Structure 1
Amino acid sequence: MNATKILHQGRQPMIRFLGKRTTPTHIDHSPKVHPASPTHALPESFASYRQKAQQHGPLNQSNKYSTGHIGGSPGSSLGPVEAGKGNYFDRSELPKRFQRLAWSQAEIEAVESGGASMFA
């Protein structure tokens, strides 16, 4: 216990601050356009911004299924789900030369033994 007191008595912080702490007398909090803004203009109001904003799709959906959250509408309302020409959803739909090959019994044993059965 006394050793801890002795250690803390001579402690000096390694960082030194110059001058007295001061806060700015005037800070401008007025809204400003971001320098990288595509329109270089502020929106007229938040409501008008929400009408045009998109986040994972339009925010102003007004269909009968919308409940205001993701998954609020059924998948069938999104339209047909078909792969376009030259696109495939599963590897089994590809031509035979690109499909998965069946594993042989020797390959299965090599994997299960960690490769040791190949050299034994």
Structure 2
Amino acid sequence: MRVTSVLCSATRTPLIRFVGKRSVPKSIDHSPRVHPASPTGTLPDSFATYRVKAQQHGPLGRSHSSSSIGGRPGAALGPVKPQEGEFFDRAELPARFGRLPWTQAEIDAIETGGASLFA
């Protein structure tokens, strides 16, 4: 019990030590700069002009023409059929890729957390 009281009363000293006095920079440049890996090497004029040209899973800008994909319902795009050797659902695969039925021993092993295998 004496050891616990001694440990609790000891002052905590951090294990990390910083060299020198803490100093905050006098001036920090927050002006926008081009990223070194930028493909164009230029900054966009504004976020709105960037968004018009940007692509993320399709165009981000809203197009008001009815010829774009978002301007028409999905049924108007025509039927969607998988190519040869492609399947949209697991149930469409050949029977050899289907799920196997569970045995009673497997069900018991899962329900007991494996304890039934050793009982």
Shift of 1:76: 2.4
Instruction: State how far apart, in whole Å, the 2-side matches of 1:44 and 1:102 are.
Output: 54
Structure 2: runs of 5+ lacking an equivalent: 107-119
* 1:100 counterpart (92, 95, 98): 95
Root-mean-square deviation (CA), in Å?
A: 3.9
Q: Paired residues, what number?
A: 100
Instruction: State how far apart, in whole Å, the 1-side matches of 2:97 and 2:6 are.
Output: 74
Q: Deviations over 1:15-60 (max 9, x none)?
A: 1111111111111111111111111111122111111012221111
Could you tell me whether the CA contact under 8 Å between 2:65 and 2:71 is conserved in 1?
Answer: no
Change (3 A) 1:6 1:51: same
* 1:112 counterpart (91, 103, 112): 103
* TM-score w.r.t. length of structure 2: 0.59
Query: Secondary structure, in 3 states, of the residue corresponding to 1:49?
Result: helix
* TM-score w.r.t. length of structure 1: 0.58
Structure 1: runs of 5+ lacking an equivalent: 66-70, 116-120
